[in-house]
Amino acid sequence: MRVLALDSGSSSLKYALFDMPAERRIDAATLEAANVGSQRSAVQDALAKMRAQHRLPDAIGHRLVFGGLHHTKPERVGRALMEDLERLCAIDPVHMPAALATMRAAQEAVPEAAAVACFDSAFHCDMPEVAHRYPLPSSIDPAIRRYGYHGLSYEYVVATLGLRGRAIIAHLGNGASMAATRDGRPVDTTMGFTPLGGMMMGTRPGDLDPGVLVYLLRNVAYTPAMLSKLLHEESGLRGVSGSTADMRELLLQAPHDTMAQAAIDLFVYDAAKQLGGLVAVLGGVETLVFTGGIGEHAWQIRKSICDMCAYLGVVVDPVRNEQHAAVISQEDSRVVVRVVKTDESLMIARHVVAMLGDTSP
């Protein structure tokens, strides 16, 4: 079975074509897609290329950031699901419309291919109820709760390492979050109702006193649209540095740019603080895993976070860390520290095969 994994971000489209169940990657690319219209064009261009090469997919797996209360595992795409997902756009107006546009464009281009929706929030659905709840009145819409995201990445890491015991996985990239697991099962996570919550990210602030938003609305004449832009595009590393959300650029600028250094320092500080909260929930930690673009490639950030966690018995080997080894902790470290290259596209393809079987639909 040829399986195409599609991952539509707010400004890009990632695709990967696999020969399954051999898990052989046939083709992969990241295409710029600045808006919903260009998402459709990017999908059409990618599938036109595959058609010309006589390797159209038998099935397509779609990454959906948000599944809401009711979509807690991969599902076949049909009219009822699409209508339900449309309603969820009100909660995540940044990612969901692009994902739905991608799904429709793929269906139009290859109507004979079976389609499966894979939800990033699904991994966290089995967290304890106390981890899902907000301290709000019970009369509030029950859909307002903590969901958690980056679930496909966490699933991949758990499966790859066969994680046992108490572990914390740090998915650090332009979007960043952490998850606590016990024997591979979700216990808690840093993100909440939307992907805006939790730790500081590339352009998002993470957890923010809601009074700040009330103040901006009431006293600085912010509109909801202005708030959305502030929170999604203008905060985090970009906001603090005043220049970029790219950690690679910030690390280069930091020696001669105090604001770049301030952004890095705040990112590390916030990450270590969030990690400490998850350690408290787990009652300790035995394994710490770094993944995502920053987690996999920025050894300086890993070192700084681990140095702040020395009280846990984390001891990083500087040579292993700078070489991005699979295990970067020293032998005498009480916490094993690992680096894993995540593969959300492969996780999507695996879900498609599990749902449809290992033969072409």
Nearest to 105 by CA among 194, 33, 53: 33
- Find the catalytic residue in 7, 58, 92, 120: 120
Alpha-carbon distances of 258 from 227, 261, 307, 349, 361, rounded to whole Å:
27, 5, 21, 44, 57
Exposure string over 189-218, b if 16+ CB within 10 A, otherwise e: bbbbbbbbbbbbbbbbbbbeeeeeeeeeee
How big is the chain, counted in residues?
A: 361
For CA atoms 292, 297, 300, 302, the dihedral sign is positive
What residues does 30 pair with on adjacent strands? 14
What residues does 242 pair with on adjacent strands? none
- Tokens 């408290």 sit at which residue? 280
Question: Is the Cβ–Cβ distance between 135 and 245 less than 8 Å?
Answer: no
Name the 3-class secondary structure at 101: helix
Question: Is the Cβ–Cβ distance between 199 and 274 less than 8 Å?
Answer: yes
Residue 54 phi/psi, 5° resolution? 60, 45
Who contacts 19 (Cβ-Cβ below 8 Å, separation ≥6)?
Answer: 1, 2, 26
Q: What is the DSSP string of 270-329?
A: HHHHHHHHHHHHHTS-SEEEEEHHHHHH-HHHHHHHHHHTGGGT--B-HHHHHTT-SB-B
Q: Is 7 a catalytic residue?
A: no
Catalytic residues: 120
